[in-house]
Structure formats: structure tokens, C-alpha cells
Amino acid sequence: MIVSWQTAIHTNLNGKVIILPTDTVYGIGCLLSDIDSIHRIYDIKQRDYTKAMVILCSDLGQVQSLIESGQNIPKELAKHWPGKLTIIFFKNESVCDIITANKNTVGIRIPGNYIALELLKKHGPMVVTSLNISNEPPILKFKDTLDFENRVDLIIEGEDLDGIPSTVYDLTTDEVLRQGEIRI
């Protein structure tokens, strides 16, 4: 079902896999606590379970609720949020192993897309990965999201996106894993 972002805000997302715009590419996601839907995402994407997924959050409070206590978010990194920066942290026990591919770290991003942010403010953190079949290019055009309409519960209307990837910075090892638009 194709819906406006305003409708998605007021929809119960429990048990649902959705497609949403982000500030990079279209994403496929679900609520953080919805293990069955996380499995569905792996199946829809034909994604290997050894590949972790990212958690999107609306603010630093949501981020802090997911990471090991005592970790600080450096101000020079936090200034890029919301935006195209994914930071790898040590996760806490609230993040299940399936999301992180059984690692003790988790990638987290606060996206700079207003639709994604509003959804995250209302529903809380979400597990999200690029919308595509694994090893194929990510979806950038709204019309191309419709190819997945029969496999997901909701598609949130959005604009065509630029596809510039997020920079991925591993705070646990102090290294850039992927250089995107934001220079670290």
C-alpha cells in the first residue's frame, strides 16, 4: 500500500516492513524490536545474514539508548547529524544480534530527511537498509520502489533521491570505513 508520510506517522508499524525515503537512498525497514520483520527484510533483499544492518534514530537520546554506557559521541561527529554519517558504536543488550550479524558493534545514523525523522520521532528507532536486492544498485527513484509493492506492507511516498552514500566512521577503531559526502 502506498501512503503519504502523514498517514505513515499515524499507522501502527508493529509487524510491518516499510519502504521509506532517507537522505541517501530509499530504505527498507521495520521497528527495532520486530525480529520477524527483520527476517523478512533479509529475505526480501536476499541478503546474507553475515551483513549487518543500520539503525536509524531521530535524535541523540535514541542513539544513547542503544549503545554501551560510557561511550561519548564526539562533538566533531555529532555536528554532522542529522545527515549522511553512520557511526559504529559498541551496542548494548537492547540491540539484537541479528541486526549486527552477531558483532558487538552497531551502525547508527540520524538521517537528514524530514520524512524519516518524523517517522523515527513517532515510532522510535528502526532497522533500515538500502532498498535493493543484495549486490544490486540501491533504489533512488520513487517509481522504482513500486517493484517491491507486493513484498512490503507500506511504501511511503517520496521524491527521487541523490544516492550519495553516507560516510561510515567506526568509533570503536577510530577509522573511516567508507568515505561519503561528509569528510572525516
| SS3 category, 88 | strand
The stretch 68-73 carries a mean pLDDT of 91
Selection from 44, 179, 42 nearest residue 101 by Cα: 42
pLDDT over 90 (residue 168): yes
pLDDT tens digit sequence for 4-21: 999 999 999 999 999 999
Give the C-alpha separation, 156 to 116, whole Å: 10
Please report which confidence band the pLDDT of residue 133 belongs to, taking 50, 70 and 90 as the band edges.
very high
Burial class (CB in 10 A: 0-12, 13-18, 19+), 108: buried
The stretch 104-118 carries a mean pLDDT of 96
First to last CA, the chain: 39
The stretch 113-127 carries a mean pLDDT of 97
Sequence spans of domains, the chain: 2-125+167-178
Q: Which three cell numbers stand for residue 15?
A: 509487524
| SS3 category, 165 | coil
pLDDT over 90 (residue 184): no
CATH pick for 2-125+167-178 out of 3.30.413.10, 3.90.870.10, 3.30.70.260, 3.40.50.150: 3.90.870.10
Q: How far is CA 16 from CA 1, 24, 49, 111, in A?
A: 11, 22, 20, 20
Q: Which three cell numbers stand for residue 72?
A: 561519548
Cα Rg of the chain (Å, integer): 15
